[in-house]
Structure 1
Amino acid sequence: MSTAAPTLPAVSPTADGALRLADWGLIRAEGADAATFLHSQLTQDVKSLQPGQARLAGYCSAKGRLLASFVVWCESAETLWLACSADLLAPTLKRLNMFVLRAKCKLSDASAERVLWGTAGASAAGLLGQAGVWTSVSSPEGTLVRLPDGAGLPRALWCRAADAAAPALPALDAGSWAWLEVHSGVARVVAATVEQFVPQMVNLELVGGVNFQKGCYPGQEVVARSQYRGTLKRRAVLFDSAAALNVGQEIFHDADPGQPAGLVALAAPRPDGGSSALVEVKLAALDSGTLHAGAADGPVLARGALPYALPQEAA
């Protein structure tokens, strides 16, 4: 499946260094029931998470729509950390706390005590050593969580004390970090996309964010039904454009200008100009014609390559 739009020139990524991630926030979960409680709320198996391990997870409404997405890692049997978009931290924390009830679990905003840095390229490789994806590595300087690579470059979240000095690494440009995040193929839910997607619509299960063997959680029946009944009709696809693209922007097909064919889930500036974006889109819209940002006569989108195959294309 492909659109008729030409691809933009390939970019050779050179990003390296570390960046304070102002658009990420951090939740601490503590207590004897912390893992069990989170297991009951998220799309991921949290009960089996051990120190040194991290996982991707979604938090859904009862209708199976993503309210937030997390990078979760285990510090100890009674302490877990959840990194999410900063603009969703307060409402997500409030909603989760509504369901704690008698569970021995305390959830709190830890953003004032710990800060998240993003590190990529040779700097990340040097810090991570042989650590694999979704491994957490702790040291006196903080905890590193290896994320999926972006455009072939290693990436990691680095959770450090808020009063610690900045890492002695090159400064990483925010646009470069965001572009690598887009090219990792892992969509992060932000305020502009809350309740827009069932997990599979942004490929969450393809990047390890959904466990279909675990017990119930909010929206679980909808997520399971989307997986096992019929063919999924919408997926996240990587696109480039010579124009700026924005999260939450609607995408239109030239043959059906009256209704949107998709939504930008994550976007970033290309190093050579223009934008790259993860776009949730109707798969039928990829068969022919062209996709455009904002309107059917808006900037054309050129399809790029995800770091993994979509199921329909792998068959």
Structure 2
Amino acid sequence: MNTLNSNPVHGATRLNDWGLIRASGEDAAKFLNSQLTQDFALLGLNEARLAGFCSAKGRLQATMIGWKASEQEILLALPAEVLPGLLKRLTMFVLRAKCKLSDASGEWQLWGLTGTDAEQWLGDAAPQTRWSLGQKGEATVIRLPESGAQARFLMVQAKEAADPALNPLSPSDWQWLALQSGLAWVRAATHEQFVPQMLNLELLGGVSFKKGCYPGQEVVARSQYRGTLKRRTFLYELEGQALPGQEIFHSEDPGQPAGLVADVASKDGRSLILAETKIAALASGSLHLGSIEGPLLQPRPLPYALTEPE
């Protein structure tokens, strides 16, 4: 059964499992530009950027969305489970830069909005292109990658602000849509498991290959320009539950993992997973969760083409 083509859902859900880091000071953009995979030196006030933070070996420790709240203040939104680790690591590198980092999660509400009802409610504040930014009153609205033809938005507003005037959306429905967008977030269980291209991050606008150095930049560039990528992230559906960090096995090579679950959505006894997978494993045989006796992974289409590096 393919449950991807279910009826569109509409509404808003509070993203209680997300948080915010504030970078403030005259060097905030310059500092983040030296640490993240995207170009923050050129970040404008009307746009957001998807980015990653890598180890020296080019392995992702966190992925996030960043935007300017003002000329000297940048906010980074990311899953709360990896926020303390990222804040600690970034703080280690500030040194003499005029940039102060803090956990601003307690000052804001983060909401996921989706559907035509959300677009109508946002009105002129609804950004029209991916990663563009709008303002609805004092709230910031960022357009996220679409789930099929369905628009999705991240809305960030003050803690005391009223809830959006939209139908409540269950977290499981929101996560199900999020997985269909093809964007997997680094979780605690997948810390340092992937270089950006393994998560298709560059295809979603999360990597700049024209900016200066950052931790792991040489490894990321080498993955892009030397040889063919052997692993990519694909979308699958399966019966039962799954968890980030679970291994995937191939029926023709049961002795070693063929991939790793990056992100998961579950509802009605089924799961969608975005899983980093050996490309060669897709040519024949079958993929299973946990072992070759585990649930069968049924491939589902991604909303973008998997291109090879030039």
Q: Counterpart of 2:194? A: 197
Higher relative contact order, chain-length normalized (CA < 8 Å, sep 6+): 1
Query: CA shift at 1:229, angstroms?
Result: 0.7
Aligned to 2:103: 109
Give the alignment of 1:267-306 within 5 angstroms: 267-270=264-267, 273-306=269-302
CA RMSD, aligned part only? Answer: 1.6
Q: Distance in 1 between matches of 2:225 and 2:177?
A: 31
State the distance in 1 between where 2:199 and 2:225 align. Answer: 17
Give the structure 2 partner of residue 98 of structure 1: 92
Aligned twin of 1:21 = 15
**Cα distance in 1 for residues equivalent to 2:53 and 2:105:** 19
Instruction: Identify the residue that residue 266 of structure 1 maps to in structure 2.
Output: 263
Q: Kindly tell me: are residues 112 and 129 of structure 1, through their superposed partners in 2, closer, same or farther at Cα, counting changes over 3 Å?
A: closer
- 2:169 equivalent to 1:172: yes
2:88 aligned with 1:60, yes or no? no
**Hey, which bits of structure 1, 4+ residues long, moved more than 6 A?**
none
* Secondary structure class of the residue paired with 1:289: coil
- Alpha-carbon distance, 1:269 to partner: 1.9
| Long gaps (5+) in structure 1 | 1-6
How far apart, CA to CA, are the structure 2 residues paired with 1:149 and 1:50? 22
Partner residue, 1:230:
227
Query: How many Å apart are 1:138 and its aligned residue?
Result: 1.8
The normalised TM-score by structure 2 is: 0.95
Distance of 2:251 and 2:49 partners within structure 1: 39
Q: 8 Å contact 1:58–1:199 — kept in the other structure?
A: yes
Relative to structure 1, the CA distance from residue 63 to residue 100 in structure 2 (aligned partners, 3 Å threshold; closer, same or farther) is same
Give 1:130 deviation, angstroms: 5.2
Identity %: 56
The code of the aligned residue for 1:26 comes to: L
> Which residue does 1:8 correspond to in 2?
2
Q: Which amino acid is 1:223 matched to?
A: V
CA gap 1:13/1:65 in 2 versus in 1, 3 angstroms? farther
Which residue number in structure 1 is paired with residue 63 of structure 2?
A: 69
Residue in 2 aligned with 1:143?
140
**What is the match of residue 3 of structure 1?**
none
Map of 1:243 onto structure 2? 240
Q: Aligned to 1:254, which of 251, 254, 262? A: 251
Shift of 1:18: 0.8
Give the conservation status (yes or no) of the 8 Å contact 1:248–1:264.
Answer: yes
Instruction: Mark the runs of 5 or more structure 2 residues left unpaired by the alignment.
Output: none
Q: Which among 300, 305, 309 is matched to residue 309 of structure 1?
A: 305
Q: Pick from 104, 115, 119: which aligns with 1:121?
A: 115
Amino acid at match of 1:184: S
Could you tell me which residue of structure 1 aligns to residue 80 of structure 2? Answer: 86
- Normalising by structure 1, we get a TM-score of 0.94
Query: How many aligned positions are there?
Result: 307
